[in-house]
Amino acid sequence: MPPPNEQEKKFVQYLQTLAAAENRAALAALRRGLSQQPGSVAEMHRYVVPWLPRDPRREDAFYLAASLFATHPVSWEAGGNERTNLGASFARLAAQDPAGESTEKRFASLLNSHPDDLPQHLRHAVTLLKSKSVPIDYAQLLHDIQSWGWESRAAQREWARAFWGCDAERPADNEAPASEPAAAS
């Protein structure tokens, strides 16, 4: 999955300037769109329309990302090759409560969500991450929202890799993963 493009990064940087300036009116206007159809809250247009892509099929993702950001304006900016997608944010959340399985179940439910249901699932996910002060890479989230309905499910697989840690020591092809028992011969 390619990284966010310049337009996506600049939009999120703009949102970050609103938060850094403690522009409560702007953030409140963006939050109003949280449980509404993307683009249906007139107060949001002032902050989102100047940044919209030329492709109208991508516009809803910008409105959704803006309302999610306004709910929890704590961005995660990584260095190096570290994954920072929402799967990585959920991995940090799970690390805070390693015995709890609810984080994994919520994450799996999010991965299985239909594109039409994604805004609602993301609203709950961001609220949960906010409750534990877990940062979110909003540029990557914006990028991933736009590809959520792809048949390849590339965004979902990248989130899964970040959550379940495919970069950790992986078993050889003929070995069972550590979490699954080896098949009896």
Three-state DSSP state, 177: coil
* C-beta of residue 7 within 8 angstroms of C-beta of residue 53: yes
75: which strand partners? 136
Cα distances from 108 to residues 13, 42, 92, 137, in angstroms, run 29, 34, 15, 19
The tokens describing 179, both together, are 């979490």
User: Which of 31-35, 56-60, 74-78, 135-139 has the least mean pLDDT?
Assistant: 74-78
pLDDT band at residue 152, thresholds of 50, 70 and 90? very high
CATH entry, 6-164, from 1.10.490.10, 1.10.520.40, 4.10.220.20, 3.30.1360.70: 1.10.520.40
- Name the residue ranges covered by the structural domains of the chain: 6-164
Average pLDDT of the residues in 54-59 = 92
Cα distances from 138 to residues 72, 166, 180, in angstroms, run 10, 22, 34
Cα distances from 40 to residues 45, 71, 79, 148, 178, in angstroms, run 9, 17, 36, 21, 48
The tokens describing 69, both together, are 């950001």
pLDDT digit string, tens, across residues 102-147: 999 999 999 999 999 999 999 999 999 999 999 999 999 999 999 9
The yes-or-no verdict on residue 78 having pLDDT over 90 is no
For residue 76, the model assigns a pLDDT of 82
Average pLDDT of the residues in 52-80 = 90
Give percent above pLDDT 90 in the chain: 76
